[in-house]
Structure 1
């Protein structure tokens, strides 16, 4: 087996591609693509589309629920945060 040095930039691009392939929401210029079949029930997913945080989850009856948050402060926090911090930001917003 041969090994190749792919470099840091290529590695980061590969990680982004893997995330896109496995995350059920993709925000594009034309709209949001939802991969319903890979969504886990009762799991909250998010993306940013047209300066709004879009929240999507599939409930236990497999019904898709969608919400949007337009508050600039929340959108900015989500945009600048790591995925692990976003859940905390959204929990604080709900309270």
Structure 2
């Protein structure tokens, strides 16, 4: 299992455009081969900051997605709305408590 967390910060007036696009592509991302889970979070203290949390079978599955036409079109559209450089972390889950 491979987990990817991405932090994105948007110009406030662009948030509705980002959300509309996310809702239109979320199922395609979630159903991309190797993806097992996808969530979108919004920061409670700064509503311009969002995080995606995705779970992949292998790191290579994420790389295949990142090289896909789907990712390229989503990222090209989304990055135009950023007000800061995005950050990404690749992490391993060590524990999960019910």
TM-score (norm 1): 0.29
TM-score (norm 2): 0.28
Quick check: which has more Rg, 1 or 2?
A: 1
Structure with the larger RCO, 1 or 2 (CA within 8 Å, 6+ apart): 2
